[in-house]
Structures are given as structure tokens and as C-alpha cells.
Amino acid sequence: MKLSYVYILQCVDDTYYTGVTSNLDNRLIEHHSAKYPDSYTAQRLPVKLVFYAEFTDINHAIASEKQIKNWSRTKKEALIAGKYEELPNLAKKKFKK
């Protein structure tokens, strides 16, 4: 059974990058080394892995990545913090801290 991963990186400018991969360790090395110099994360190094989830079906991983990319920052931070019970109530809108 081959696993796939959805992951969130926190960039040096405090933005989040969400991606999907079948080899998380290798993909993190690629991010840290700026293998793709024109990519979002290459311009925002260093990056830190703040969340990942494993999937047994790549199609579910891709769907999850697309869903998370459309979430608000507040909703992403709830996911990162493991506050899963808050996720349904966090719509895509601006929240004051």
C-alpha cells in the first residue's frame, strides 16, 4: 500500500503552503533546497513542516489538498493545532485575532 501525504509548510514570511506528495521526506528536502527556484516556497525560505496527513488513496489526498488551499488562515491554523471540532464552524472569512 503506497501512502500519499497532504502537508502544510509555514514559510519565513508567516504564510502557509499546502502541497501533496507520495514521498514526504524527499519533498521536504526539495523545498528546503529550493529545487524549483521559481516556486512559492523557494522565495520564502526557510520553511517548517507544521502539519501532514496520510492517505491510502492519492485521489483523496489531492481532493484534501484542494480543499485546504481554499480555507481561511484561521481554519488552517485550527487544523494545524488539531482543533478538529472547530473546523466545521470556520467559514472562509476574515477573523480578528
- CB distance 75 to 92 below 8 Å: yes
The total number of structural domains that make up the chain: 1
Instruction: Report if residue 30 sits inside a domain.
Output: yes
- Is 77 part of a structural domain of the chain? no
Domain membership flag for residue 31? yes
Cell of 10: 509555514
**Domain region containing 36:** 4-71
How far, in Å, CA of 48 to CA of 51, rounded? 9
Q: What is the mean pLDDT of each run of 10 residues along the chain (97 residues)?
A: 95 98 97 94 96 97 96 94 90 61
Residue 58 to residue 54: CA distance in whole angstroms: 10
How far is it, in rounded angstroms, from Cα 84 to Cα 23?
25
25: in domain: yes
Residue 80 falls inside a structural domain: no
What CATH number is given to the structural domain containing 19? 3.40.1440.10
The verdict on residue 11 lying in a domain is yes
Assigned domain for 32 exists? yes
pLDDT of residue 65: 97
- What's the pTM value of the predicted model, to 2 decimals? 0.90
